[in-house]
Amino acid sequence: MNTFETLTFECETGNYHTFCPISCVAWLYQKIEDSFFLVIGTKTCGYFLQNALGVMIFAEPRYAMAELEEGDISAQLNDHEELKRLCLQIKKDRNPSVIVWIGTCTTEIIKMDLEGIAPKVETEIGIPIVVARANGLDYAFTQGEDTVLAAITHRCPEYKSWIDEKDETKKEGFSVFSEQKRNDTSKSPNHPPLVLFGSVPSTVASQPNSELKRQSIKVSGWLPAQRYTELPSLGEEVYVCGVNPFLSRTATTLMRRRKCKLIGAPFPIGPDGTRAWIEKICSVFGVKPQGLEDRENLIWNNLKDYLDLLHGKSVFFMGDNLLEVSLARFLIRCGMIVYEIGIPYMDKRYQAAELSLLRDTCKKMHIPMPRIVEKPDNYNQIQRMRELQPDLAITGMAHANPLEARGINTKWSVEFTFAQIHGFTNAKDVLELVTRPLRRNNSLEHLGWTNLLQPTII
C-alpha cells in the first residue's frame, strides 16, 4: 500500500499531561463581553486560576471563584442558597447578560446537581445561567471551550425561514425577530445561513468574514457571539462550520440537538488550510472560488524568510492542545519534517477533512506520513526524541525545561492556543512562534556561546 495514502493511528494509553480545562475562562470572558464566569471548586482551583490568569488581575476580569468549604462538601450547607447568594452579588456588582457556572472535578465527585439548581436560580435572579462541566476529566484544556460552547448552543434562538418569519412578525410584532432583523442587511444572501463556531478575537473573526464576503458568502453569526444577547439563530436550514479542531462536542450538539448541517472542512490555520476551508464552504453553497490561489501564493511569498529557516528542520509534537494535526500539516507544507504527532484525543470524524489535507500535503511535499499517537506516553516519547534528536519539540509546559536541558529546542504548545493563528494574514504569527527558539540558538552560535547548546547528561 502506498505510504502517502496510509493513515496510521497508535494509542499508548499514557497519562494526560495538560492544563485544567477551567483555564478556558481566560479567553472566553474576554470574547463574550457581557458575560460573567463563576468557577465552582476548591482552593486548588483558585490557586490555579490565580497562577494561570493572574496577569489579568488589573483588567477587572469578569470571572470569580466560588470556593467549596467543608460544609459544602459534606452537604451541611444548602447549595441552592449559597449559589443564589453569590449570583445576586454578581448581579449587583456587574449585572451581566449571562452567568456561566464552570463545574470542576470536585463538583463531579460530590455529585453537585448544578443543572438542577441553575434553572431555579435563573428564575429567581432574572439572569440566564449556563452550566458547563469544564473539569479535569477532559482530555485537553482546550476542551473547556468545547464544553462551554456546547452548553451555550442550547440557548441560541430557533431559526425561522424568511417566509415563516414574515408571517410571525405580522402576528407577534417586530421585536420577536429583532435578532434576525438586526443581523439582516438590506440585501439577503442567496444561500442558506452560515454560522461559524469557535472563540477567536473579534479582529481575527473579521478576517474569515471578509474572505468569505469576497466569495459572495455572508456569515450570519458566530458562536460564541461578542455579546450573549447576539447569539446566532440555529435550526435545520442553518449550516455550521468550525474554526478550531477541539470543538467536536460542540459540532455534535449542533448537529444532533439543533439539527444544523455541519460543513466538514480543514481548519483555517496556515495559508493552505485557510484556502481549503474557504473552498469547502464555497463548494457546499455552489459558489466557484475566485482568486484564492493568487491570495495563497501571495502569503507564501511574504513568508519566504521563515520558510528558508524552517526548510529541512525537524519537529516533534508531544501532544497537549488538540491543535497538533493542523499545525503539523502547516509546518510540513513549510518544508519541515514532522517525526511524530502526539495528540491527547482524536475525533476522526470531526477532523476527517484535516487528516485528508495532511495526507495530501505529505504527498505534495514527497514525504511519508508522520506517526499519529493518541494519548502518548511521555516517557516513551522522550526515548524516541533521544534517538531522533529533532530540531524542535512542541510540548506542554511541564516538559519544556527538562528537554531544553537535554539540548532540544522547545516551544510551549499553550502559546499557539492564545496566539492569533487563524486565516491568511495570521500565518506569519504561527511561524514567528515556531522559529523563535531556532533563531535564538542561531544568535547564540554566532556569539560563540555554543557550550550553552550542548546536551546535559541528567
Q: In what order do the strands lie in the sheet with 261-262?
A: 221-223, 194-197, 239-242, 261-262
Side-chain half-sphere of 274: how many Cα atoms within 13 Å?
Answer: 26
Report the C-alpha gap between 396 and 410 in whole angstroms.
9
- Residue 334 annotated in ligand binding: no
Beta pairing, strands 194-197 & 221-223: parallel
List the grid coordinates of 301: 511569498
Q: Which residues contact 39 (CB under 8 A, 6 or more apart)?
A: 22, 25, 45, 46, 49, 63, 64, 65, 66, 102, 104
Q: Identify residue 423 by its one-letter amino acid code.
A: G
List the grid coordinates of 103: 463545574
- Residue 241 annotated in ligand binding: no
List the grid coordinates of 316: 516533534
Of 394, 341, 331, give the one whose Cα is nearest residue 365: 331
Cross-strand pairs, 194: 239
CA 38 to chain centre: 20
Report the C-alpha gap between 247 and 321 in whole angstroms.
11
The most distant pair of C-alpha atoms in the chain lies apart, rounded to whole Å, by 79
Name the one residue in this structure whose C-alpha cell is 445561513.
193
Of 65, 27, 45, give the one whose Cα is nearest residue 146: 27
- Residue 362 annotated in ligand binding: no
DSSP, residue by residue, 272-284 = HHHHHHHHHHHHH
Side-chain half-sphere of 284: how many Cα atoms within 13 Å?
Answer: 21
Residue positions in the annotated binding site for [4Fe-4S] cluster?
A: 20, 45, 105
Residue positions in the annotated binding site?
A: 20, 45, 105
